[in-house]
Amino acid sequence: PVRLLVDNDTGIDDALALVYLLSLSHVDVEVLTSTPGNVAVEQVARNNLALLELCGRTGVEVAVGATAPLEIPLTTTPETHGPQGIGYAELPAPEGAVSPHHAVDLWVEAARQHPGELTALLTAPLTNFALALRKEPRLPKLLKRVVIMGGSYYYQGNTTPTAEWNTHVDPHAAAEVFAAFEGEPEDRLPIVCALEMTERIELRPEHVAELGRLAGSAEAELVLPEDPEGRRSTAANPLLRCLSDALRFYFEFHRHYDQGYLAHVHDVFAAAIAAGAVDYRTRPATVHVETGSGLLVGTTVADYRGLWGRKPNARIVSWNDPEATFREVLGSIGALARR
Ligand code: BDR
Ligand code: CA
């Protein structure tokens, strides 16, 4: 099995990624921790608990991490993910409670207890991971693999013209994380899924219709058009209803920025890599994160050629297969919804 530590900021694409991971029989999400980002950290944890319950999974420890980025105030993005982080979906208040332990302690303890066995998946600002690395500098050696969604190496940001959201929210944390991996052997370097790859994971209404077919739900119940009246999904299945209402919000957000009626489901791609379920290629590079104030804060720069005379600290994904990723993800979520 793939044993996972997941840190996220749920978030519509984080939610889809989590549901996908929970649908996989060969994956165990062992610890699920929250970083503030898309929404405040308590809301992230509530969303994670509610999604676990919606998927019938209650045995996963859910913990809260840092409440703000390392050095700068928190910014959230209700315009991207809705006021609660899951678009128009209304999740019932979770019955379960968050763990009394701090996210960072859980990560460090799990990694120490199971050296070489755990894969880390980070689909949020890297605040908790940076704090965990401060507490346990051997984490790069203790973790089996690290997969990160963040950054942009073709210098088109989604938050500023050059910066990607997760890195922009906490650039100091991202800088610390990459510094901690510098000089590790290549197979230990974090696999980085940046915008130039994740924006190819373009979810379109046809994909949602396909999910409906796979899960036995009618297209009209799932594929909601842009709707000023706020029509909600009528699907009988609560998981499909949640995804449909979440995705309509995400589609409308992308349309607002003239990208068409589609959604970049960044975190889903990182999750599929962490699950070992899709093909991809990477290139080793030395990543620098700009932390100074001003125009370029949060921008990630990659040196692929050793021009800085430094060792690589990341493996940046350089090729992916969007349609194969969707076949994998939708097939698996469809099967979960049918169960
Ligand atoms: C990242 O930012 C967040 O809004 C998404 O959940 C994703 O992790 C994309 O830039
Ligand atoms: Ca996210």
**258-302: pLDDT as tens digits:** 788 999 999 999 999 999 999 999 999 999 999 998 899 999 999
Convert the pLDDT of each residue in 41-62 to its tens digit.
999 999 999 999 999 998 999 9
State the distance from the centre of ligand 1 to the C-alpha of 265, rounded, in angstroms.
8
Report pLDDT for 293.
81
Atom of ligand 1 nearest to the CA of 158: 10
Q: What is the pLDDT of residue 220?
A: 83
Question: Does residue 227 register a pLDDT over 90?
Answer: no
- When mean pLDDT is compared across 120-129, 164-173, 225-234, 306-315, the lowest value belongs to 225-234
With a cut of 90, say whether residue 145 has pLDDT above it.
yes
CA of 184 to the centre of ligand 2 (A): 26
Tens digit of pLDDT for each residue in 99-113?
999 999 999 999 999
CA of 109 to the centre of ligand 1 (A): 27
Q: How far is the CA of 273 from the centre of ligand 1 (A)?
A: 16
Q: Which of 123, 153, 247, 300 to mutate to test the pocket of ligand 1 (most atoms within 8 A of CB)?
A: 123
Beta carbons within 10 angstroms of residue 200's beta carbon: 15
Q: Which atom of ligand 1 lies at the shortest distance from residue 198's CA? A: 9
CA–CA separation, 89 vs 320, rounded Å?
A: 30
The yes-or-no verdict on residue 315 having pLDDT over 90 is yes
Q: Considering the chain, what percentage of its residues have pLDDT values greater than 90?
A: 91
pLDDT at position 224 is 85
Within 8 A by CB and 6+ apart from 218, the residues are: 212, 235
Output the pLDDT for position 237: 93
Closest atom of ligand 1 to 123 CA is 8
Q: Which tokens belong to 112?
A: 């120490």
pLDDT value, residue 67 = 98
**How much distance in Å is there from the Cα of 10 to the middle of ligand 1?**
9
8 A C-beta contact, residue 166 and residue 190: no
- Other Cβ atoms within 10 Å of 261 Cβ, number: 14
Ligand 1 pocket: which residues have CB below 6 Å?
Answer: 11, 13-14, 38, 80, 123, 149, 158, 164-166, 266-267
Residues with catalytic function: 266
Say how far apart CA 302 and CA 286 lie, in whole Å: 6
User: Per-residue pLDDT for 79 more than 90?
Assistant: yes
From the CA of 81, give the closest atom in ligand 1: 4
Which of 16, 165, 169, 203 maximizes ligand 1 atoms within 8 Å of its Cβ, making it the mutation to test the pocket?
Answer: 165
Provide the phi-psi class of 125: left if phi over 0, else alpha when psi is between -120 and 50, else beta: beta
Task: Count Cα neighbours of 332 within 13 Å in the Cβ-side half-sphere.
Answer: 25
Ligand 1 atom 2: residue of nearest CA:
165
Ligand closest to the CA atom of residue 80 = 1
pLDDT at 257: 87
Mean pLDDT on 77-89: 96
Q: 121 pLDDT exceeds 90?
A: yes
pLDDT digits (tens, 9 = 90+) for 191-208: 999 999 999 999 999 999
Please tell me whether the peptide bond between 230 and the residue prior to it is cis, using omega within 30 degrees of 0.
no
Higher pLDDT, 142 or 219: 142
Each residue's pLDDT tens digit, 61-75:
999 999 999 999 999
Residue 218 has pLDDT above 90, yes or no: no
- Collapsed DSSP state (helix, strand, coil) of residue 166: helix
Give me the chain's average pLDDT, please: 96
At residue 339, the pLDDT reads 85
Q: What percent of the chain has pLDDT over 70?
A: 100
Which one of 18, 79, 149 would you pick to mutate in the ligand 1 pocket, going by the greatest count of ligand atoms within 8 A of its CB?
Answer: 149
This model of the complex carries an ipTM of 0.99
How many helices (H) does the chain have, and how many strands (E)? 14, 11
